[in-house]
């Protein structure tokens, strides 16, 4: 979520390190130090995740398409955050902005692409949460409802729908000075669409609500199934082993969903605080803004973990992922398929 706020024609940009009134610099310094580190680690991890998910063993899974798309858009989101942080640093050092040489068309395209990356990262997690709901509640229909082709169609559909929701940026965004902002004559409409429709509805309320409902339902179902299997003392049956494998994959994907919620909570909290003061206590808003700005920078850094942590979640919770990752860096290839190590590697979760 991009923590920018406008009240009428007055805008407060929390991403800027200073606004005439100088806040404490420690939060901005924290962001300048850790943003490049998180971006570098996240992009490398996302590239490795994409490579692993495209291996022969995993590319046939429907969820691998979601994870590949998530790796792409997470990486683009990290690049967007890094670009914005670099621009803030230049502003802080009184240097020309990165957007100085942008045209109106360049501004439109940049803002549209940036918002699309954030939206796709959020809604791909929603898609994974809904697929897990289907797998857990309708395991006998998962091969019909959760297919590779279906996953690709859903990803493309989400991209088209999200693109349509952001078309207003291609119309209203222009270059003002060295910034890409909404047209002054359309500021009220643009502000409403940006804050209420984009930030609160599409980036926060709807994704968090859907993901939370799906995750809680899945966890409750897994718990009830585990109890039923324990009561029947059928831990050695083929059905039980199949359910256990599905549950391991489900728990990995649920971890990704919960990471999304947890890492976004700080920036959402800061966003809500400033938003409430802007609308309910406008006289106190500048003072609150200046005092909360360092914590906004910290919250922004925490939110970046959402785009960089998935690789480590896969490594910790996914045996297949670890196996395929070793295969990528190993010199052993198809000639060793008959070895005991390879037979272990091709076992499914």
CA triplet 8, 12, 15: central angle to 5 degrees?
A: 145
Best CA proximity match to 198, nearest among 164, 232, 175, 231: 164
More confident residue, 314 or 24: 314
pLDDT tens per residue, range 252-296: 777 887 888 888 888 888 888 887 887 787 787 778 888 888 888
Q: Say which range, 6-15, 132-141, 260-269, 311-320, has the weakest mean pLDDT.
A: 6-15
> Residues 6 or more apart from 229 whose CB is under 8 A from it?
235, 240, 243
CB 31 within 8 A of CB 298: yes
Whole-model pTM: value is 0.80
HSE-up (13 A, CA, CB side) for residue 127: 28
More confident residue, 294 or 223: 294
- Which alpha helices (H) appear in the chain, and where do they start and end? 26-53, 62-92, 104-137, 142-145, 148-165, 167-172, 187-192, 206-232, 238-280, 285-308, 310-317, 319-329, 340-345
Best CA proximity match to 251, nearest among 306, 200, 318: 318
Q: What is the mean pLDDT of residues 188-205?
A: 88
CB 318 within 8 A of CB 53: no
Q: Which residue has the tokens 């272990």?
A: 344
Residue 13 predicted with pLDDT over 50: no
Share of the chain above pLDDT 70, in %: 80
What's the mean pLDDT when you consider all of the chain? 79
CB 63 within 8 A of CB 128: yes
* DSSP state for residue 338 in the 8-state scheme: T
């Amino acid at each position: 979520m991009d923590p920018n706020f406008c009240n009428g024609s007055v805008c407060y940009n929390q991403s800027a390190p200073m606004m005439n009134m100088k806040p404490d610099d420690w939060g901005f310094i924290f962001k300048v130090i850790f943003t490049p580190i998180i971006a570098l680690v996240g992009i490398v991890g996302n590239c490795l995740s994409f490579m692993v998910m495209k291996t022969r063993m995993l590319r046939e899974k429907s969820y691998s398409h979601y994870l590949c798309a998530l790796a792409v858009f997470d990486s683009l989101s990290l690049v967007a955050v890094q670009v914005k942080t670099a621009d803030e640093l230049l502003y802080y050092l009184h240097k020309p902005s990165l957007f100085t040489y942008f045209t109106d068309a360049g501004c439109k395209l940049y803002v549209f692409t940036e918002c699309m990356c954030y939206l796709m990262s959020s809604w791909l997690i929603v898609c994974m949460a809904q697929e897990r709901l289907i797998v857990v509640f309708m395991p006998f229909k998962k091969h019909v409802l959760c297919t590779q082709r279906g996953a690709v169609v859903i990803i493309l559909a989400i991209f088209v729908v999200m693109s349509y929701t952001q078309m207003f940026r291609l119309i209203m965004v222009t270059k003002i000075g060295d910034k890409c902002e909404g047209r002054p004559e359309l500021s009220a409409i643009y502000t409403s669409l940006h804050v209420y429709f984009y930030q609160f509805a599409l980036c926060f309320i709807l994704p968090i609500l859907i993901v939370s409902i799906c995750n809680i339902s899945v966890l409750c179902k897994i718990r009830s199934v585990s109890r039923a299997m324990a009561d029947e003392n059928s831990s050695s049956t083929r059905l039980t082993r199949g359910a256990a494998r599905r549950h391991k994959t489900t728990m990995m994907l649920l971890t990704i969903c919960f990471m999304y919620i947890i890492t976004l909570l700080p920036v959402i909290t800061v966003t809500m605080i400033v938003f409430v003061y802007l609308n309910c206590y406008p006289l106190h808003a500048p003072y609150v803004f200046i005092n909360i700005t360092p914590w906004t920078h910290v919250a922004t850094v925490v939110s970046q973990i959402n785009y960089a942590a998935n690789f480590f979640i896969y490594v910790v919770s996914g045996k297949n992922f670890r196996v395929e990752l070793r295969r990528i860096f190993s010199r052993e290839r198809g000639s060793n398929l008959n070895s005991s190590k390879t037979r272990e590697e091709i076992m499914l979760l």
